[in-house]
Structure 1
Amino acid sequence: MPTTPDPTDLLRAALRRPGTGSSDFDLNPDASLPEGRKLRPAGVLVPISVVGDTPRLILTKRSSALQHHPGQIAFPGGKQDDGDADVTATALREAQEEIGLPTDLPEVLGHLPTHETVTSFSVTPVVAILRAPFQPVPEPGEVDEVFSVPLAHVLNPENYIVESRRWRGQKRYYFTVPLGPYYIWGATARMLRGLAAQVGE
């Protein structure tokens, strides 16, 4: 069975391209945003394992008990703390806390453009390669599951679908990139769609 080429060079080239920022409002231009809103910095890790024949993207399923975004598919990550040197440090710290990923394992390749969320975060996706296996340890109370999907699936723009649902009395459109039992949507899907676009340029 032929192996899939290591995506490191492809990703490095993509991340060198300027790209454009994204937001939860990209598909909803009529959305009204609060005046004077202040965006808080956050970092998420986009960890890509190249162990084995097929590069795979590692994701989490958030706990259904959480107040915000329960049960949704997400990258490991969170808001930047005062003790974090930068958003890369935030992403690495959060990945260690949420899925047990050693901070010295990811080989950081670069950043995607920031993504503004409806919850007023400016999220920087930090793309990293994992060249060694690790045993995921989901953080109790925050992460229900750690799983992976083939990187090729999320890098193919044809796998993305625009869907909608009612939110705060209005119809809201968003990207999805479903795979099997996993419904990847919202900010996570939008950031991945941005990565797919940069890789495809």
Structure 2
Amino acid sequence: MNDLARTLQAALGQPGEGSSDFDLNPDTVLPEGRRLRPAGVLIPVSVAHGEPRVILTKRSSALKHHPGQIAFPGGKQDDGDRDVIAAALREAREEIGLPETVPQVIGHLPQHETVTGFNVTPVVALITQTFEVVPEPGEVDEVFSVPLSHLTNPANYLIESRIWRGTRRYYFTVPFGPYYIWGATARMLRGLAARIAE
């Protein structure tokens, strides 16, 4: 196992609680008895071209939910998925053309609860070979990558806010060039950065 894989495995193996879209908004009152749907996202760390880079997508501006936002490949667990890891791998194949046999799954971060009612498992995998990127028409406008070193440096994270449903909501951002990475994606990456920094 190479150094990066060992570093990631050690980070993912640390104890710790999950995260949520409400971490920076402690006054949020969540409904009792809420049901969260299981989902999996893939954090693909590509080492195929030297410097490790995380592959991300820009969602289509035509989508009803989260249009134009930066996201990991992934989505809800379907009945045919063995588990959330299988869901993340399937969605990555569908959204960016990543063959399910290519990712070397290292492990996963604790679950992340989203404001949209999902319990998301962020699955970390190494991508050691090249593949033909095929964005899913109608869902993915762009597939790009960001250096892992940028995303694992806690100093690159900011806390910003905006008014959402009449209340000021705070969230993490980790901008990179023209890409505004924020919300759940930034929060999950911030969790990985914190674990690697320890």
Task: Give your verdict on TM over 0.5.
Answer: yes
Aligned length: 197
Q: 1:134 aligns with which of 120, 123, 131?
A: 131
Q: 1:37 aligns with which of 31, 34, 38?
A: 34
- Equivalent in the alignment of 1:68: 65
RMSD between aligned residues: 0.9
Kindly provide the CA deviation profile for residues 80-100 of structure 1, in whole angstroms up to 9, marking residues without a partner as x: 001100000000000000000
Measure, in 2, the Cα distance between the counterparts of 1:101 and 1:6. Answer: 24
Deviates more, 1:63-72 or 1:10-19: 10-19
TM-score by length of 2: 0.98
- Equivalent in the alignment of 1:52: 49
Pairing of 1:1-201 with structure 2 (within 5 A)? 7-201=4-198
Secondary structure, in 3 states, of the residue corresponding to 1:7?
helix
Unmatched 5+ stretches in structure 2: none
Measure, in 2, the Cα distance between the counterparts of 1:171 and 1:155. Answer: 27
Q: CA deviation at 1:51?
A: 1.3
Kindly provide the CA deviation profile for residues 57-109 of structure 1, in whole angstroms up to 9, marking residues without a partner as x: 00000000000000000000000001100000000000000000000000000
Contact 1:23 1:187 in 2 (8 A): yes
Given residue 69 of structure 1, which amino acid in structure 2 is its aligned partner? H
Secondary structure, in 3 states, of the residue corresponding to 1:164?
strand
Kindly provide the CA deviation profile for residues 28-59 of structure 1, in whole angstroms up to 9, marking residues without a partner as x: 00112123210000000000001122100000
* Percent of residue pairs bearing the same amino acid type: 74
Contact 1:6 1:50 in 2 (8 A): no
Measure, in 1, the Cα distance between the counterparts of 2:155 and 2:182. Answer: 15
Given residue 155 of structure 1, which amino acid in structure 2 is its aligned partner? T
Measure, in 1, the Cα distance between the counterparts of 2:190 and 2:4. Answer: 17
Stretches of 4+ moved more than 4 A in 1?
A: none
Measure, in 2, the Cα distance between the counterparts of 1:103 and 1:84. Answer: 13
